[in-house]
Amino acid sequence: SQTIHQWPATLVQPVGSPLSLECTVEGTSNPNLYWYRQAAGRGLQLLFYSVGIGQISSEVPQNLSASRPQDRQFILSSKKLLLSDSGFYLCAWTFRDRVTGELFFGEGSRLTVL
Amino acid sequence: AQRVTQPEKLLSVFKGAPVELKCNYSYSGSPELFWYVQYSRQRLQLLLRHISRESIKGFTADLNKGETSFHLKKPFAQEEDSAMYYCALSGGLTGGGNKLTFGTGTQLKVEL
């Protein structure tokens, strides 16, 4: 069976510090990968998605970047965090070749920037 | 552009009462609609999708293309239905695979 792991679960960082959130998927190959941000009253906002190694699409301009160094690894990064980067970040995956529309979500990472 | 609107942030009902969570969408093509649910301290997960035309945990949702709606309904609410519900839309595999656009979510609270 497939699993998705996301870490760290909680992170408190000062303004201007770097960020690295990591997500890995097990039990499948060639998944589509996604980073969402969940904010109260604003729903889930798609930040980045990837259909393959090194292929990253950004949905919204922001202070964050994403990378996919391996097939089942997806990393969310920032060189210098802003207060507005605080939030709950969700990684998700789906089968690339199936039109199911079902996303499988990780447990999330809560980032607080002080 | 695709958009999903959930007009209610919070919906409070009594146990045994009917439930209707509203969802309207905007999309120029032929959409796929979904409802996702997040129970307390659990992961966000798929509840149902319109193409399956299935009832999950007593919930159903019918796609109304004329009204561009996909409301989630259950005739008798149960306490365990309390959760955050998100409506989502997909344009399919075009341009980078199964991107889902989510609404802002509705918190359902079932009171005894």
Q: Considering only alpha carbons, which residue of chain B is nearest residue A48?
A: B99
Cα separation, A13 vs B41, whole angstroms: 23
pLDDT band at B71; cut points 50, 70, 90 = very high
Average pLDDT, chain B: 90
Whether residue B98 and residue A101 make contact (CB cut-off 8 A), yes or no, is yes
Check: CB of residue B23 under 8 Å from CB of residue B47.
Answer: no
- Which single residue is written with the structure tokens 């259950």? B74
| Cis peptide bond prior to A8, omega within 30° of 0 | yes
Whether residue A43 and residue B102 make contact (CB cut-off 8 A), yes or no, is yes
* Per-residue model confidence as pLDDT tens for chain A (114 residues): 889 999 999 999 999 999 999 999 999 999 999 999 987 777 889 999 999 999 999 888 788 999 999 999 999 999 999 999 999 999 999 988 766 668 999 999 999 999
- What per-residue confidence (pLDDT) applies to B92? 62
Mark B16-41 as b/e (b = at least 16 C-beta within 10 Å).
eeebebbbbbebeeebbbbbbbbeee
Rounded to the nearest angstrom, the minimum Cα separation between B66 and chain A is: 22
3-state secondary structure of B78: coil
Instruction: Report which residue type is found at A27.
Output: G
B25 in reach of chain A (CB within 8 A): no
- What per-residue confidence (pLDDT) applies to B93? 56
Residue B100 has pLDDT above 60, yes or no: yes
Residue B97 has pLDDT above 70, yes or no: no
Residue B96 has pLDDT above 70, yes or no: no
- What per-residue confidence (pLDDT) applies to B94? 56
pLDDT, one tens digit per residue, over B26-67 is 988 888 899 999 999 899 999 998 878 788 899 999 899 899
Task: Using an 8 Å CB-CB cutoff, list chain A residues near B45.
Answer: 105
CB atoms within 10 A of CB A25: 22
Stated as kind and residue range, the H or E segment containing B24 is strand B24-26
Give the A:B interface size as CB pairs under 8 Å.
61
Cα separation, B10 vs B16, whole angstroms: 18
- Which single residue is written with the structure tokens 């690295």? A20
3-state secondary structure of A85: helix
Q: Check residues B90 and A14 and name the one with the higher pLDDT.
A: A14
Give the number of C-alpha atoms closer than 13 A to the C-alpha of residue A20, restricted to the C-beta side.
Answer: 3
Cα separation, A73 vs A71, whole angstroms: 6
